[in-house]
Structure 1
Amino acid sequence: LMVQGPAELEVLKGVVEILGIKFCEHECFHVKRNRIVPVESFENALVSVSAFDGGRFWLSESGCGVKIWVEEVKRVFEKASLEARPFQIMVVGETDSGKSTLSTYLANYAISKGLRACILDGDLGQGDLAPPGCIGLKFVEKNFFDLRELVADYYDFLGIISPRGFQDHVIESILRLRCLAIKGSADILIVNTDGYVRDKGLDYKVNTVLKLKPDVVLCLEDEGGLNNSSLFKTLSAAYPEKVVFVRRAKARQKTRGERFHRRLNQYRRFLSRGTIRSFSLFNLKVKFLNRIFYLNDTSFFGNYSLCKLNDDGWKLVVKPSDVPHILYDENSRILSFSSYALNRMFVALEYKGTLKGFGIIVHVNPELMIDVSTKVDDDVDAIHLSSIKLVNNFNNEVLIPILRQGFQENFL
């Protein structure tokens, strides 16, 4: 039984499960607007569903709930009881293959066994725990139905919404957050990955697996197409005996427009109702793709408003111009932003190495005093720049092209 909210569900007889959470006789469950949940029974059960204001329910073919994963998940957790902590489960698959649903089920299953579960959301563009451009880590204390009910405990900000061209940076971010899961004494670490698995994305997934070294990789694929699956075959060859086939959930593919609006809603979730704070870029450390620029270079000449250095010989410069791109020159070791690119840029704010929250640069003056709309009211000593601009009151997202080594290639 599939239920789309808003709706109310009451168990009249027997026991049902929703994403691994049991509901017994006379217990009720509220389904929020636009959320779709699978209601499953492992025995005869009777439920009452009241749908209203656009909500609905329907009987579905097999393959839409978590029953399809029960046996594989049981075997994974039997193995987990014998391994060192944290036991690492990496979830891979194409876009809309059920990765987030499976991650939710894994976390609820772990909690039901008394284990301390931790979820690492590694999807920069369609993540659940953090805003776009950022990956998040969450220690889960109680059962939940939707990853978007949760807010990350820790963030790693990259400022891009796709790993294309920057795969190594994403892998490094995942490894940094994995260290925090270890420090936090997690029993189970669930790594939910993005859907970039084709072409260069396949090499990216292999490199992620080889560097992360998970205890098991759950690979979501269509059962009928398993023999032709390059993802499963390639991962199995690169990481023998650790890759497990898991049947892909039957789910409707989101349109490009739906993904766009999903991102906008995530921005609003973390940015709405902010207040204006002013900062001088000269007084802040500036970060981009986790390169840290902290030393103001006052000896430079030319038409730059700002030049900051880091320990690796890189320079970050800001020019008073309307150039609509970011220059990422690995040969000259220069990152170049225009004042135009900074205006309406989505940023992250940090203090003493801890990311405190997010904001939008709403004004840049010629002296590089910036006004930032943010919920952060803590001290700030660093700002993370991005390739994302938010305009029209969060109703549009503009991605700033990143030009690498003099060749225009927009990594979105």
Structure 2
Amino acid sequence: MELRLTPGRTLTIDGPAVVTLLQGRVEILGNVWTPQSKLSVRKGRRIPIESMDGSRLEVNLGKDATWTEVAEKAIPETWMTVAERITTERGTALILGGGDCGKTTFCTYLANKALSKDLKVVVIDGDLGQANIGPPTTLSLGLVECPIVDLFRIKPEKTYFVGIISPSTVGNIVIRCLRNLKVDAENKCADLIIIDTDGWIQSELARNYKTTMVKEIEPDFVIAIQEKEEMKTILESIRKRGVFILQVSEMVRERGREDRLLLREQGYRKCLKGSTLRTIQLMNVKMEFLGINFEQPAPAEKEKKFEKYLGCLAKHFEEAASDRSPQMPMTCITKAFDGKDANFSKEGIEKGLLVGLLDHERKFIGLGTIMKLDYDRGYLQVATPAKAEISVIQFGRVKLLKGHEVGIV
């Protein structure tokens, strides 16, 4: 269908949709588009299109896609003012706020405004559950080389696999990875580093996590986006200059659990596309976050004691360092063996688990899903598009089936 927009009016598109600008000029998240420009909006995302001088657009909507025309500007004046300040002074901008407040939208707008000033821009994606640059369960860095409407289009240049979609149990790991990614961005001589974050802010643990994040990352600017005063406690803990409070844009879409799941699954499928089955000998790789390393088998008498206690045979039994923290779910038998804890899990629980694959330099080379872990023959089968040699396998806690999230273990 064809739509006409008068100057100053905004068209919001909820994907999936394709929009072609036929006449006039429009601004999309800080970037000016001219006739014959084409915009793709993926399912689960909302893009605002503001007419600058009277526009004519062709809009092709996919299944369940919608559009709305409103009189308001796409970007609030306060967002424009803060973006102008940041792109003038440059440095590192950390974006905070709850879920569905517009953090990623502001990041996109800020990146485009910086590009319009010929700045070198790096975006760090710090949202495990709603990752855009890398796949869900990861933290990534990407260089913005051209105007964007969706961080999903940025190519990741460095990625850390964390293996879970919530930071609640891995806050220290997330902060450490973000700090390292900031150093990488500085080494790229970026004029502006933009750090997008997750929406976990409500509990005391969450507030401590965000306060520690600000302290450890040491950004030049902290942008807090809030609807009421949900960021008040966090902001009171931040004693620094360069803190800006922005209101939620009316253009921001509120997403439900199903929308969030849909966006995660888009990310999984994107990064697992073209997977083939690879068989890996366990002795040739290091396995992390699993609690099993196949390097130190336990004495036979202890294995028999364990089997007698459980009333079944053990496929694999080993003694591990006391400080090892298994990420794969295991049941603990407290003080059952010489006053030590014993962890055990059922055979087959690892099938479908998402894993991060690293090369010999510990560089992330891709995602995979475990198809089989054979303790007797000492091999593992993983479905992955990665072609490089695998040296480290990091086990996550998300289970997938044909690209669909079927559980968190």
TM > 0.5 between the two? yes
Q: Which amino acid aligns with 1:219?
A: A
Task: Give the counterpart of 1:175 among 174, 179, 203.
Answer: 179
2:342 counterpart of 1:342 = no
Q: What are the equivalent positions in structure 2 for 1:288-367 lying under 5 Å apart?
A: 288=289, 296-298=295-297, 300=299, 301-302=302-303, 303=314, 305=316, 307=318, 314-315=323-324, 325=330, 338-351=346-359, 352-367=361-376
Q: TM-score, normalised by structure 1?
A: 0.82
Partners in 2 of 1:334 and 1:152 — Cα distance?
Answer: 40
Query: For the Cα contact (< 8 Å) 1:317–1:337, is it kept in 2?
Result: no
Alpha-carbon deviations, 1:308-342, whole Å to 9, x = none?
867xx634789xxxx9647699x979876554332
Q: What are the equivalent positions in structure 2 for 1:140-179 lying under 5 Å apart?
A: 140-179=144-183
Q: Which residue of 1 aligns with 2:4?
A: none
Q: What are the equivalent positions in structure 2 for 1:182-221 lying under 5 Å apart?
A: 182-199=186-203, 200-221=205-226
Q: Which amino acid aligns with 2:264?
A: R
- What secondary structure, in the 3-state scheme, does the structure 2 residue paired with 1:159 have? coil
Q: Which residue of 2 aligns with 1:405?
A: none
Structure 1 spans left out of the alignment, 5+ residues: 81-86, 401-412
- What secondary structure, in the 3-state scheme, does the structure 1 residue paired with 2:396 have? coil
Shift of residue 257 of structure 1? 1.6
2:137 counterpart of 1:128 = no
Q: 1:158 to 1:72 in 2, by over 3 A?
A: same
- What secondary structure, in the 3-state scheme, does the structure 2 residue paired with 1:385 have? strand
Q: Which residue of 2 aligns with 1:254?
A: 255
Alpha-carbon deviations, 1:240-283, whole Å to 9, x = none?
32310112122232111221222222111111321111112332
Partners in 1 of 2:77 and 2:170 — Cα distance?
Answer: 36
Q: Which residue of 2 aligns with 1:10?
A: 21
Q: Which has the larger radius of gyration?
A: 2
Partners in 2 of 1:74 and 1:295 — Cα distance?
Answer: 55
Query: For the Cα contact (< 8 Å) 1:219–1:245, is it kept in 2?
Result: yes
Q: 1:317 to 1:238 in 2, by over 3 A?
A: closer
Q: Which residue of 2 aligns with 1:263?
A: 264
Query: For the Cα contact (< 8 Å) 2:356–2:367, is it kept in 1?
Result: yes
Task: Give the counterpart of 2:39 among 30, 44, 48.
Answer: 30
Shift of residue 3 of structure 1? 3.1
Partners in 1 of 2:187 and 2:408 — Cα distance?
Answer: 35
2:114 counterpart of 1:110 = yes
Shift of residue 28 of structure 1? 2.6
For structure 1, which segment, 141-150 or 294-303, has the greater mean C-alpha deviation from structure 2 after superposition?
Answer: 294-303
Q: 1:44 to 1:394 in 2, by over 3 A?
A: closer
Shift of residue 216 of structure 1? 0.4
Q: Which amino acid aligns with 2:195?
A: V
Query: For the Cα contact (< 8 Å) 1:307–1:316, is it kept in 2?
Result: no
2:96 counterpart of 1:92 = yes
Q: What are the equivalent positions in structure 2 for 1:264-279 lying under 5 Å apart?
A: 264-279=265-280
Query: For the Cα contact (< 8 Å) 2:95–2:195, is it kept in 1?
Result: yes
Q: 1:91 to 1:364 in 2, by over 3 A?
A: same
Q: What are the equivalent positions in structure 2 for 1:215-230 lying under 5 Å apart?
A: 215-222=220-227, 225=228, 229-230=229-230
Alpha-carbon deviations, 1:198-241, whole Å to 9, x = none?
1121111111001111000111012xx3xxx2414532442332
Partners in 1 of 2:332 and 2:298 — Cα distance?
Answer: 21
Q: How many residues align?
A: 376
Partners in 2 of 1:317 and 1:59 — Cα distance?
Answer: 51
Partners in 2 of 1:74 and 1:373 — Cα distance?
Answer: 46
Q: 1:327 to 1:160 in 2, by over 3 A?
A: farther
Q: TM-score, normalised by structure 2?
A: 0.82
Q: 1:324 to 1:395 in 2, by over 3 A?
A: same
Q: 1:307 to 1:314 in 2, by over 3 A?
A: farther
Shift of residue 33 of structure 1? 5.0
C-alpha RMSD of matched pairs (Å) = 3.0
Query: For the Cα contact (< 8 Å) 2:272–2:385, is it kept in 1?
Result: yes
Q: Which residue of 2 aligns with 1:242?
A: 242
Q: 1:49 to 1:145 in 2, by over 3 A?
A: same
Query: For the Cα contact (< 8 Å) 1:326–1:387, is it kept in 2?
Result: no
- What secondary structure, in the 3-state scheme, does the structure 2 residue paired with 1:39 have? strand
Q: Which amino acid aligns with 2:260?
A: R
Q: What are the equivalent positions in structure 2 for 1:76-91 lying under 5 Å apart?
A: 76-80=86-90, 87-91=91-95
What is the percent sequence identity of the aligned residues?
24
Q: 1:208 to 1:308 in 2, by over 3 A?
A: farther
For structure 1, which segment, 69-78 or 237-246, has the greater mean C-alpha deviation from structure 2 after superposition?
Answer: 237-246
For structure 1, which segment, 191-200 or 176-185, has the greater mean C-alpha deviation from structure 2 after superposition?
Answer: 176-185
For structure 1, which segment, 43-52 or 149-158, has the greater mean C-alpha deviation from structure 2 after superposition?
Answer: 43-52
Q: Which amino acid aligns with 1:362?
A: M
- What secondary structure, in the 3-state scheme, does the structure 2 residue paired with 1:387 have? strand
- What secondary structure, in the 3-state scheme, does the structure 1 residue paired with 2:366 have? strand
Q: Which residue of 2 aligns with 1:283?
A: 284
Query: For the Cα contact (< 8 Å) 2:123–2:194, is it kept in 1?
Result: yes
